């Protein structure tokens, strides 16, 4: 494992660029940062709030899920979220022009409700995007979450899946017929069958009001954060509380569990010529690391 950057304020949402640099959001600093292959750091944009997940869209811009901001706890163990920020206003989907750093707000609501805490984003090859709205946690209450589908032209953000408990990472199978998401606080992996752009088959039943299919629900103290899909369709999930990357086969069986030196391993992305380099955010200690990966990751549609 090689440390590329330290001193980041709760980094998340790594995006591996064609030139070998990596974009990360710093949730605790409200900004997007570029880290070159040699570790050189530069600020791309100041988003404010709590930039969380990020992905390159069909127009080459960076699209950011902004959760609106957290309160924080910081001690010898590092930096950790501690609920909704005192100055929280709303969640949003933002567009960042990578050439100028200009930030524009694309959505603050779906067709059903205001966005509470957008968390992660993935684009399909059609140019539309899926997001998780994780919701916000307050002292004695928390929001129900949702999965939404939108377009970069601002023509609409449609709520597709509701309710779902604390949805976090989101990804697509290589053939884009399965939508994957994980719930943070229940540590469950869910699968939804995609039947069209922004449409999933829904099978409502007890324990799954949202209509998804439970793929995995491992035991033990753990929380699930963001995820990335491997080229063979396996799902690599970043695990918090007991830091690790846990890889699930499409049938839900565990392929491997790779321990991390930070309890808050929050995200993984793949890069390199053969897509066998993993970039991982170790958030409470403020690090971006990279390491060889046993299997190639899935190349995303617009990341060149």
The domain tally of the chain equals: 1
The ranges of the chain with pLDDT < 50 are none
> Which residues are annotated as catalytic?
225
Segments forming the whole domain that contains residue 269: 2-292
Residue 230 forms part of a structural domain = yes
Q: According to the annotation, is 119 in a ligand binding site? A: yes
Compute the distance between CA of residue 204 and CA of residue 212 in angstroms, rounded to an integer: 8
Token couple for 239: 């695990």
Location of structure tokens 């597709």: 160
Residue 282 forms part of a structural domain = yes
**Dihedral-angle region of residue 187 (phi above 0 means left; psi in -120 to 50 means alpha; beta otherwise):** left
Residue 278 forms part of a structural domain = yes
The total of other beta-carbon atoms located within 10 Å of residue 217's CB is: 12
Residue 299 forms part of a structural domain = no
Question: What Å distances lie between residue 193 and 23, 188, 205, CA to CA?
Answer: 30, 17, 15
pLDDT at 303: 85
Q: According to the annotation, is 168 in a ligand binding site? A: yes
Q: What are 252-300's pLDDT values in tens digits?
A: 999 999 999 999 999 999 999 999 999 999 999 999 999 999 999 999 9
Residue 205 forms part of a structural domain = yes
Residue 298 forms part of a structural domain = no
Residue 229 forms part of a structural domain = yes
pLDDT at 304: 61
Compute the distance between CA of residue 81 and CA of residue 92 in angstroms, rounded to an integer: 18
Q: Regarding beta strands 277-282 and 265-271, do their DSSP bridges make them parallel or antiparallel, or are they unpaired?
A: antiparallel
Cα radius of gyration rounded to whole Å, the chain: 17
pLDDT at 257: 98
- Show the 3-state SS of 51-110: EEEEEECCCCCEEEEECCCEEEEEECCEEEEEEECCCCCCCEEEEECCCCCCEEEEECEC
**CATH number of the domain that 256 lies in?**
2.120.10.30
Compute the distance between CA of residue 27 and CA of residue 71 in angstroms, rounded to an integer: 11
Residue 38 forms part of a structural domain = yes
């Amino acid at each position: 494992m090689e440390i590329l950057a330290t001193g980041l304020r709760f980094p998340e949402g790594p995006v591996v660029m064609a030139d070998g640099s990596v974009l990360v959001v710093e949730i605790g600093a409200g900004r997007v940062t570029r880290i070159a292959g040699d570790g050189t750091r530069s600020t791309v944009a100041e988003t404010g709030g709590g930039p969380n997940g990020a992905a390159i869209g069909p127009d080459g811009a960076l699209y950011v899920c902004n959760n609106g901001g957290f309160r924080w706890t910081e001690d010898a163990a590092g930096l950790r979220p501690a609920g909704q920020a005192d100055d929280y206003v709303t969640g949003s989907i933002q567009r960042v022009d990578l050439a100028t750093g200009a930030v524009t707000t694309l959505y603050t609501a779906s067709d059903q409700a205001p966005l509470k805490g957008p968390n992660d984003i993935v684009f399909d090859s059609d140019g539309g995007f899926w997001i998780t709205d994780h919701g916000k946690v307050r002292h004695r209450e928390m929001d129900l979450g949702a999965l939404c589908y939108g377009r970069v032209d601002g023509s609409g953000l449609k709520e597709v899946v509701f309710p779902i408990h604390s949805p976090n990472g989101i990804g697509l199978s290589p053939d884009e017929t399965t939508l994957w998401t994980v719930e943070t606080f229940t540590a469950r992996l869910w699968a939804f069958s995609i039947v069209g752009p922004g449409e999933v088959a829904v099978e409502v039943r007890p324990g799954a009001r949202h209509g998804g299919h439970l793929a995995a629900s491992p035991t033990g103290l753990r929380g699930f954060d963001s995820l990335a899909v491997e080229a063979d369709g396996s799902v690599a999930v970043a695990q918090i509380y007991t830091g690790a990357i846990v890889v699930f086969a499409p049938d839900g069986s565990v392929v491997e569990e790779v321990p991390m030196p930070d309890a808050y391993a929050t995200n993984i992305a793949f890069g390199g010529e053969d897509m066998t380099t993993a970039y991982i955010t170790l958030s409470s200690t403020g690090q971006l690391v990279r390491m060889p990966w046993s299997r190639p990751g899935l190349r995303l549609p617009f990341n060149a």
